Amino acid sequence: MQIILANRYFFPDESATSRIATSLAQGLAERSAAAATDSVHVLASQRVHNDVSQTLEAEGGIGRVRIHRLATTRFGRDRLVGRMLDYATFHVSVFAALLRHVKRGDIAIICTDPPMLSVTAMAAVRLKGGIMVNWILDLFPEIAMDLGVLGREGLATRVALWLRDLSLKTAHRNVVPIERMAMHLADRGIPVSSLAIIHHWSDGEAIQPITPGEGSLRREWGLTGKCVVGYSGNLGRAHEFDTVLATAERLKTRDDIVFLFVGGGFRRAAVEAEVARRGLTNVLFKPLQPRERLTECLGLPDVHLVTLLPSMEPYIVPSKFYGIAAAGRPTLFVGDTDGEIARVLANADCGASVAIGDVDGLERAVLDLAQSPERRREWGINARRAYDERFSEARGIAEWRHLVDALAPAQARTDAPALSRGLPT
């Protein structure tokens, strides 16, 4: 039996989906080696997310994972038409590759980058008699609808929803990261028996807590002795920054507090422009760092920021939180104070949450932490404990291994055993 995972980005790409897809593929490959039966293949593009000029080798591998990198256009993310063409050509290449590689009884794990990949994969996997598992990292077209990219009542939206739902209804399993997303899909008629909740994770071996205030990055970036409020990762459409920038503006006379953004994304240029317009000299921008500096990068801030528009709660979970927890750092969440991350922070006592627009609340939280190293230390310890107990890489991969074992080729969709962590009742 082969396990075939499809995601647009894969190692050595540094994006969040690449990192978790690489982690899963390697974890399943270790299982396969132990079983001496299965092999793990990955279908990805030849691109990296932040450099359209780079072309990766068509065939390669990492450990026991075989990587098949597929040809696509390379317009990049700057223009919508170019991005759509990149998506479309990856869809075509994946369809052809699945027809080539999938055999009866193989398990195809289909990610959600690019959007609607499950629709393309559905036809190919069914034609070849494979077992389809959708790994739903975010929900399209709902995200595009809520952000105003797609109209809610247009024909294109209705067709996209119908096709997406069909690809989930016909799959053997649909894996989601949070209960709220599972409930949303159940409300749309996706069979509850097909839904399984497996939390995102980060590599807790590669990401280790470091002593606050130390590290070469602090020295390189001139942050020694500062209380650093960090934002790490994608500055995307689904995230909110007005509350953060308004708070930074209120604190701009505090020489001891710095706001640090590390990463890129659709909204980075706009955020940088707003920082310049406000004259915020206490805000610093740095590019995404390579994975060998991940521990230092995540350990540099004294406290991390995570933001999410409340309307996005059923559709996205900010994966950056799991790396923050692995690094043993507290989190300040800006968004729905009853949302997924807010509840985790409250239950684990490893951070605080404020609503979007609550500048007073965020300012107060930042000042409280800046003045209380002991609170930062306590919340950081609790964050790492929450990671070890609930969000570790070992736990996530073990749950995926259980899922794969439950989908042995001899079992049909109707009699495959349900996962112990399926949709709560």
Matching residue, tokens 């280790």: 208
Q: What is the mean pLDDT of residues 46-58?
A: 90
At 409, is the pLDDT very low, low, confident or very high (cuts 50, 70, 90)? low
Return the pLDDT at 33: 56
**Read out DSSP for 48-105?**
BTTBTT----SEEEETTEEEEEEP-----SSSHHHHHHHHHHHHHHHHHHHHHH--TT
| Mean pLDDT rounded to a whole number for the chain | 93
Q: How far apart are CA 33 and CA 25, in angstroms?
A: 12
Q: Which helix (H) or strand (E) holds 154?
A: none
Domain ranges for the chain: 2-201+392-406, 216-390
Q: Percent of the chain beyond pLDDT 90?
A: 85
For the stretch 293-334, pLDDT in tens is: 999 999 999 999 999 999 999 999 999 999 999 999 999 999
Q: Is 260 helix (H, G, I), strand (E, B) or coil?
A: strand
Identity of residue 147 = L
Q: How far apart are CA 136 and CA 230, in angstroms?
A: 27
β-strand pairing of 59-62 with 173-176: unpaired
At 61, is the pLDDT very low, low, confident or very high (cuts 50, 70, 90)? very high
Q: Return the CATH fold of 2-201+392-406.
A: Rossmann fold (3.40.50)
CA-based angle 4:8:12, to the nearest 5?
A: 90
pLDDT above 60 (res 411): no
At 415, is the pLDDT very low, low, confident or very high (cuts 50, 70, 90)? very low
C-alpha separations of 404 from 11, 32, 97, 243 in Å: 22, 11, 21, 43
Q: Output phi, psi for 389, to 5 deg.
A: -85, -30
> What six digits make up the tokens of 340?
């997924």
* CATH architecture type of domain 216-390: 3-Layer(aba) Sandwich (3.40)
Q: Is it true that 2-201+392-406 and 216-390 share their CATH fold?
A: yes
Which DSSP symbol is given to 311?
Answer: G
Return the pLDDT at 419: 38
Q: How far apart are CA 399 and CA 373, in angstroms?
A: 36
Contacts of 183 (CB under 8 A, 6+ apart): 314, 423
Matching residue, tokens 């590019």: 287
Q: How far apart are CA 271 and CA 407, in angstroms?
A: 46
Return the pLDDT at 32: 62
> What six digits make up the tokens of 136?
């739903």
Q: Measure the CA dihedral 108/109/112/117, to 10°.
A: 0
pLDDT above 90 (res 163): yes
| CA-based radius of gyration for the chain | 21
Return the pLDDT at 35: 56
β-strand pairing of 59-62 with 65-70: antiparallel
